[in-house]
Structure 1
Amino acid sequence: MMPQRPIRFCPYCGVPVVSRFLFGQERPTCPECGWIYFADPKVAAAAIVEEEGRVLLTRRVNEPYQGFWTLPAGFVDAGEDPARAAERETFEETGLEVQVTDLVGVISGREHERGADIVIIYRAKRVGGTLRPGDDADQVGFFDRDRLPPLAFRATRRALGVE
């Protein structure tokens, strides 16, 4: 797990937190109101969209891995169904409307400081839209699996079976 920035103040009453051994580990705790910090995992959802044996990928405009390619993916918002997040992210990044058809798998392990701890991979089919880059992608396209461009993340490589 990647190190997180330290929690220094209670988000509810603003008092500096102290470290206490609770629930099996040291946790930032508010000595005033009793709030305990539990680090929640960051969850992302990705879509594998294939047409005519080719897989949809997006080229990243942001670091890390700027200029490398990945599946359309992004963070799941609080209260959001992860399958809907995969559909939403695919539309935001590629302009394609997709419908999740099944769960491919779950990949764990944060790859960089701002990354997800858990990536849920879905298979999805195109139901509409027009292919165009958007959000944090500057190019999008379908690629033959034996001629993939440089891939950004271990999770993408694992999802596509190339690692």
Structure 2
Amino acid sequence: MSPTIYRYCPQCAAELETRIVFGKLRPVCPQCGFIYFADPKVAAGVLVEQDDQVLLVRRINEPLQGLWSIPAGFVDAHEDPQEAALRECLEETGLEVRITGLVDVINGREHERGADIIIVYRAEVIGGHLSAGDDADQAAFFPRNHLPPLAFRATRRVLGVE
């Protein structure tokens, strides 16, 4: 079982117990019956290719600070994953893009604060000016045969270097 974010029931404040529910150990409230189901963290990103080059951003935060990845980030609650991918690209690169297709859906959390699922879309630039922002200190296009050090397995996978 993954670490529980609750020790007490968020509905009635009774101390939670761990029980097997629906085939897994889960925190359960003995008073009101609340069951804590850990939801997966979902991220969305874009693979932008232009003139035989791929758009990457350099991370300013840990983990993997200083390494490069596709523009990506977490999907907010009730947010369309495509909209999240567009938002993250604009925040990190200054570029407005349009989704043109789905590249891959990748599972597997790579670090403690990471996503369990990342949805990667293919996109093309439709506006804006290339300028790093948000949690990136550089944004640039790279030829596939001269990629910088890459941060995540998901980035390596969509670039075909894993």
TM-score, structure 2 as length reference = 0.96
Q: Residue type of the partner of 1:19? A: T
Q: Matches of 1:74 and 1:29 in 2, distance apart?
A: 31
Gaps of 5+ in 2: none
1:72 deviates by 0.2
1:15 deviates by 2.0
User: Could you say which residue in structure 2 is the equivalent of 1:56?
Assistant: 55
- Does the residue aligned with 2:156 lie in a helix, a strand or coil? helix
- Does the residue aligned with 1:86 lie in a helix, a strand or coil? helix
Q: Matches of 2:5 and 2:54 in 1, distance apart?
A: 40
User: Could you say which residue in structure 2 is the equivalent of 1:108?
Assistant: 107
1:96-147 per-position Cα deviation (integer Å, ceiling 9, x unaligned): 0111110011111000000000011100011111111111000000000000
Where do residues 69-84 of structure 1 align in structure 2 (5 Å cutoff)? 69-84=68-83
1:70-92 per-position Cα deviation (integer Å, ceiling 9, x unaligned): 00000011111111111010001
Q: Residue type of the partner of 1:89? A: E
User: Could you say which residue in structure 1 is the equivalent of 2:33?
Assistant: 34
Mean alpha-carbon deviation: is it higher for 11-20 or for 134-143? 11-20
User: Could you say which residue in structure 2 is the equivalent of 1:135?
Assistant: 134
User: Could you say which residue in structure 2 is the equivalent of 1:13?
Assistant: 12
Where do residues 80-159 of structure 1 align in structure 2 (5 Å cutoff)? 80-159=79-158
Contact 2:106 2:118 in 1 (8 A): yes
| RMSD of aligned residue pairs (Cα, Å) | 1.2
Q: Matches of 2:161 and 2:3 in 1, distance apart?
A: 30
1:17 deviates by 0.5
Q: Matches of 2:33 and 2:98 in 1, distance apart?
A: 44
Q: Matches of 1:141 and 1:85 in 2, distance apart?
A: 20
TM-score, structure 1 as length reference = 0.95
Q: Matches of 2:5 and 2:48 in 1, distance apart?
A: 38
Q: Matches of 1:4 and 1:85 in 2, distance apart?
A: 27
Q: Matches of 1:13 and 1:135 in 2, distance apart?
A: 39
Q: Tell me the number of residue pairs that the alignment of Structure 1 and Structure 2 aligns.
A: 162
Identity %: 64
1:20 deviates by 1.4
Gaps of 5+ in 1: none
